[in-house]
Amino acid sequence: MNHRGRSALLLALVCLAAAGAAAAQDGHAVRVKLERATAREPALRSSAALVLDATGSSVLYARRSDVAMPIASITKLMSALVVIDAGQPLDETVQITSDDLAHRRGAVSRLIPGTELSRGDLMHLALMASENRAAHALGRNYPGGLAACVAAMNAKARELGMTSAHFVEPTGLSDENVASAEDLSKLVMAAAKVPAIREYSTDTSYEVRVGRRVLTYRSTDSLTSKPDWDIVVQKTGYIARAGRCLVMQTIIEARTVVIVLLNSYGKLSRVADARRIRRWMESYEHLHGETPPGLPAATPASAAPAAT
């Protein structure tokens, strides 16, 4: 073989080696992606979390789910639940007073004393926009007053089997309102059975007239405005001791799923964690043709039980 032939052969061998290395690298990248997509656990940034198949009561993922911790404005779901249980008319007018002013750092409200709104409007603002004075007014106007409302909240927690839950006021501004993620999954499922709570908590915006002004409120949960999310009920929460919190009941891959995220680090982490859970469930099914471990097979839409 002459010099030109040997050079051509050497070049060909180098090209083949390079192609093989590139293919191996691509293959490694694909394997990494597959391993990440098929991981048995989503990589969440919340310090406590629970993902529950609500229909089969099957736990898909849990992290410190039995630890009671401050729950911030998730409290408002329980406040709304006991007001509904008391049968108080939602169209009855309730007035905001100086008693509803919270003297806590970060407690912001646009409802000044003297504001008159219906009980339904106040509940709407409390659940959708986490309005603290609205929630406090609901509790203050509960039959028997604020103390009776808090007693009803704790009694309801016991009724629902929320063994570590404890409430001291109806807004969530106190870090003494505590519950575990397991407890909160029970609260979410109970709240999802109430049409008014479902409607108010998942609304994206709402207007109320206060004197001559019209105030526009928006949801504290950005996922409610996303058309690719089917959220049945939701509530956000934040105080310093609780961190960023999010609970919801939603539909993922034709299943009713309860997601509880507590003490998420960073302003956007709770929403990002919810998206990670959804991608984890969807990726596992699409790659394997089956559900993640522990998750029962999907019920066909035509056979799924109607929401109550």
Residues annotated as catalytic (active site), given as ranges: 73, 76, 130
75 CB-near residues (< 8 Å, 6+ apart): 135, 167, 169, 170, 171, 172, 177, 237
Q: Please give the structure tokens belonging to residue 22.
A: 């590139």
> What CA–CA distance (Å, rounded) separates 196 from 304?
22
**Coil vs helix vs strand at 255:** strand
17 CB-near residues (< 8 Å, 6+ apart): none
> What CA–CA distance (Å, rounded) separates 122 from 152?
19
Strands (E), 10-135: 46-53, 58-63, 69-70, 93-95, 116-118
> What CA–CA distance (Å, rounded) separates 279 from 232?
19
**Coil vs helix vs strand at 295:** coil
> What CA–CA distance (Å, rounded) separates 248 from 21?
46
- Strand 116-118 and strand 93-95: the pairing is antiparallel
DSSP 93-108: EEE--GGG---STT--
CA 221 to chain centroid: 8
